[in-house]
């Protein structure tokens, strides 16, 4: 991606000169609901220049990606936190330039500036149902917590990385561990069908791999199932719902596995889990067409016991 990044601070003439263009880009970039139909309208779809200027007046910084011809191709806003970290929000890319490296250019520029100023961490909130956590995980951001988003039907993960760190990818949030095992639902797709596998785990990675193993045992190890995401129920009381089907209309294949006909978008409990159960949060999602292959664990060869070896 060629171009440069401009930094704007304060609400003076320079900020006013860019505010309308960045707000217009933000509205355009957030005009759709995401790659899964049925999600609510993003907050950024109503962005206004006055809001942007208020944030700059309060101490935010605006980072703008410009093409060689000075077109605004992307932008993000950065807010300082009480512990000295930088919080990144409203990351937007011109829809016509998605996939061209604009977002990566913005983030890498901010990370270099943060490293130069000894900023301890860069944080952001990633909306799970829009498939954002895997995107940031590939850039080296690690999950540090779940933000339920009070009053919102969607879930957000808090993610961060240290400026200047190697930023190794973590596609299944390997390092994020819950305080106790929680009821989980992991979702998979195969040939126009959706499979939901329930369990109880402390990590997204454990839930996904255990579910992949269960499907491999049921469908065969060569079935080309793809991992779509995981939900976790943060309050299992008054009843333990670890083994309940996560949505109506499915065909139970065994106590843990339920099969649903049709694409993911037709299962409201998958699209927005909290609309089906206010305590069930989406904690990982891959967008349609970007589901991940999880190789099941190879079976462990049975080893005869001493007693078995002594039987003639």
What pLDDT is stored for residue 149 in this prediction? 58
Domain membership flag for residue 164: no
Residue 271: predicted pLDDT: 93
Residue 130 lies in a domain: no
pLDDT the model gives residue 171: 67
What's the CA gap between 92 and 95, in Å, rounded?
9
Domain end, chosen from 120, 145, 166, is at 120
Q: Do the domain assignments include residue 12?
A: yes
- Please confirm whether the linkage preceding 238 is cis (ω < 30° from 0): yes
pLDDT at 218: 93
Whether residue 18 is found in the same domain as residue 106: yes
Q: 114 and 211: one domain? A: no
Residue 172, pLDDT score: 74
Q: Name the pTM for this structure.
A: 0.87
Closest CA to 146 of 112, 182, 194: 182
CA–CA distance, 289 with 195 (Å, rounded to integer): 16
Determine the pLDDT at residue 50: 94
pLDDT at 150: 56
In tens digits, what is the pLDDT along the chain, a chain of 312 residues?
A: 567 999 999 989 989 999 999 999 999 988 866 667 778 888 888 999 999 999 999 999 999 999 988 889 999 999 999 999 999 999 999 988 888 889 889 999 999 999 999 999 999 999 999 999 998 998 889 999 887 655 678 999 999 999 987 767 766 776 788 888 999 999 999 999 999 999 999 999 999 999 999 999 999 988 999 999 999 988 766 555 556 778 888 999 999 999 999 899 999 999 999 888 888 999 999 999 999 998 766 555 545 544 444 333
Residue 151 included in any domain:
no
Residues 24 and 99 in one domain: yes
In this structure, are 15 and 115 located in the same domain? Answer: yes
Given 84, 103, 120, the domain boundary residue is 120
Q: Does residue 110 share a domain with residue 33?
A: yes
- 83, 188: one domain: no
Of all residues in the chain, what percent are helix, strand and coil, respectively (each to 5)? Answer: 30, 30, 40
115 shares a domain with 8: yes
Residue 26: the pLDDT is 93
Q: In this structure, what CATH number is given to the domain that contains residue 19? A: 3.40.630.30
302 inside domain: no
CA dihedral 190, 191, 192, 197 (to 10 degrees): -20
Q: 1: closest CA among 78, 89, 66?
A: 66
pLDDT at res. 39: 86
Does residue 92 sit within a domain? Answer: yes
- How many distinct structural domains can be found in the chain? 2
**Do residue 82 and residue 184 come from a single domain?**
no
pLDDT given for residue 301 in this prediction: 53
Range of the domain at 83: 4-120
- Rounded to the nearest 10°, the torsion over CA 81, 84, 90, 92 is 180
Q: What is the pLDDT of residue 228?
A: 96
Residue 305 confidence (pLDDT): 45
Residue 47 lies in a domain: yes
Q: Are residues 103 and 182 in the same domain?
A: no
Q: What is the pLDDT of residue 312?
A: 34
CA distances from 204 to 43, 153, 171, 207 (A): 27, 20, 10, 5
Same structural domain for residues 21 and 113? Answer: yes
Domain-located, residue 126: no
């Amino acid at each position: 991606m060629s171009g440069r990044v401009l930094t704007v601070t304060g609400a003076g003439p320079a900020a006013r000169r860019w505010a309308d263009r960045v707000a217009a880009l933000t509205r355009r970039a957030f005009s759709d609901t995401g790659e899964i139909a049925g999600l609510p309208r993003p907050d950024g779809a109503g962005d206004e220049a006055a809001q942007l200027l208020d944030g700059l007046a309060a101490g935010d910084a605006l980072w703008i990606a410009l093409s060689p011809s000075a077109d605004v191709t992307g932008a993000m806003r950065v807010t300082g936190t009480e512990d000295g970290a930088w919080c990144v929000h409203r990351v937007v890319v011109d829809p016509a330039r998605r996939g061209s490296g604009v977002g990566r250019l913005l983030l890498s520029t901010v990370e270099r500036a943060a490293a130069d100023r000894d900023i301890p961490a860069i944080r952001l909130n990633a909306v799970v149902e829009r498939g954002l956590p895997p995107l940031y995980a590939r850039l080296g951001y690690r999950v540090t917590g779940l933000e339920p988003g009070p009053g919102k039907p969607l879930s957000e993960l808090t993610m961060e990385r240290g400026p200047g760190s190697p930023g190794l990818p973590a596609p299944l949030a390997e390092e994020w561990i819950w305080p106790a095992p929680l009821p989980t639902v992991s979702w998979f797709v195969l040939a126009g069908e959706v499979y939901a596998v329930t369990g109880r785990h402390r990590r997204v990675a454990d839930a996904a791999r255990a579910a992949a193993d269960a499907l491999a045992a049921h469908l065969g190890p060569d079935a080309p199932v793809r991992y779509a995401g995981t939900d976790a129920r943060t309050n299992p009381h008054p009843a333990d719902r670890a083994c309940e089907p996560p949505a109506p209309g499915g065909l139970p294949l065994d106590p843990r596995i339920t099969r649903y006909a049709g694409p993911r978008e037709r299962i409201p409990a998958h699209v927005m889990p909290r609309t089906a159960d206010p305590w069930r949060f989406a904690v990982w999602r891959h967008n349609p067409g970007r589901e991940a292959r999880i190789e099941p664990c190879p079976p462990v060869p049975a080893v005869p016991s001493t007693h078995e070896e002594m039987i003639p």
